Amino acid sequence: MEPEAGRLTWLWTTFKHYVRASWVRYKKLPIGGKMLVWSLGIFYAALGTFLILGGAERLAQALYNFGQKINHLRFGWMILAAILVIISVPPFIGHTTTLMLCGFCYGMKGGFFLAAGGSIFGAAMAFVVLRLLFNKSLRKWSSQNEKWQALEAVIRARGLPLIMLIRASPFPPWVYANALFASIETVALWQFVVASVVLLPKISLYVFIGTRLAVLSDGTTRKQMDTLTKVLNGVLVGVSFSVAIIAGLIIFRSMKAHIRHLEGIPPEVDELAAEALEEASEGAPLLGNRASPSSPTDEESNTTVRPGRAYSSAA
């Protein structure tokens, strides 16, 4: 029972952390960003109301019909590819949903190649664009941030294997991970692209979920199924989601444990690097507040700034 209680405690602590971090980020948003958040809230509330009043079957059929329209468009695949590229740049979200939409519209084979190609190309574009836009300000900020210097030193020391492990983790999420690696000067574009390939199994899983949802959404296909087939498809969707979530949490915990116990790296550097990754889940440093040169601390990000101290890969 104790290991189970420990996992539940960790999940609850992680949940509270991201709720608190989301609230802090919301308060920092400009009026336009807050209006966008409220618009999304109203949209999902309206969607929930429609589901209750209009019925899930009607919505599912409407979504299936929409997916088939995209499928039959001559350049319909380009729409989804463009969406994947756009949502790879912060602060946009919706990568997982778009992956499932690829499977929903184009099936497993076509949907996988579309999702994989669009995701990797979009991530590479985001990496290049963010690095070009924030290169100067980021260098100035990182030269005074102890945690970020530690993270850069750890990645410089361990290279591609560690980059791949961080990339495979669900935290930071897709779009923030793109920002994270663009923020780390020691990460080359080719390393980032190669590391993104480790996400192909995860991409294929969400595409598969999309194909099962498509089968269950079409009224004609659904009527031809017996009860057992419907249940099996529903179970497949639920199990696939569970596998993705559980595997992601295991990788995340393994990543943090690995970083905190790297051989040849001082423990205090490992700990600071792990903390930098946690802050990256909230969009830092590209989307978070960056400490000014004259400020010794950044209380909102809990980042201690000690000018003049830098870590090398041999630290």
Whether residue 305 lies inside any domain: the answer is no
Rounded to a whole number of angstroms, the CA Rg of the chain reads: 21
Among candidates 18, 117, 44, which has minimal Cα distance to 77? 117
Res. 208 pLDDT band, cuts 50 70 90: very high
What CA dihedral angle connects 266, 270, 276 and 280, to 10 degrees? 150
In a domain, 46, yes or no: no
| Domain assignment present for 128 | yes
> In the structure encoding, which two tokens stand for residue 55, read together?
């019925």
For 119-131, how does the pLDDT look when each residue is reduced to its tens digit (9 = 90+)?
999 999 999 998 8
Q: Residues near 35 by Cβ (< 8 Å), separated by ≥ 6?
A: none
Res. 54: pLDDT tops 80: no
Weakest-pLDDT range from 50-59, 74-83, 196-205, 252-261: 50-59
What average pLDDT does the segment 11-17 reach?
Answer: 73
Per the structure, the complete domain to which residue 81 belongs is given by: 55-287
Enumerate residues 6+ apart whose C-beta is below 8 A from 94: 83, 87
Instruction: Give domain status of residue 33, yes or no.
Output: no
Tell me whether residue 256 is in a domain.
Answer: yes
Residue 32, pLDDT score: 59
Total domain count for the chain?
Answer: 1
Q: Which residues contact 308 (CB under 8 A, 6 or more apart)?
A: none
Per the domain annotation, does 152 fall within a domain? Answer: yes
142, 152 in Cβ contact below 8 A? yes
pLDDT tens-digit profile of 211-254? 988 888 887 887 788 777 778 888 888 888 788 888 877 887 78
Q: Is the pLDDT of residue 206 over 70?
A: yes
Question: Higher-confidence residue: 294 or 44?
Answer: 44
| pTM of the predicted model over 0.75 | no
Please indicate, yes or no, if residue 261 is contained in any of the structural domains. yes
**Hey, how many other C-beta atoms are within 10 angstroms of the C-beta on 68?**
15
Question: Which two tokens mark 61?
Answer: 């059929």
**Inside any domain, residue 205:** yes
Highest mean pLDDT among 165-174, 284-293, 304-313: 165-174
More confident residue, 149 or 210: 210
305 falls in which pLDDT band (50, 70, 90)? very low
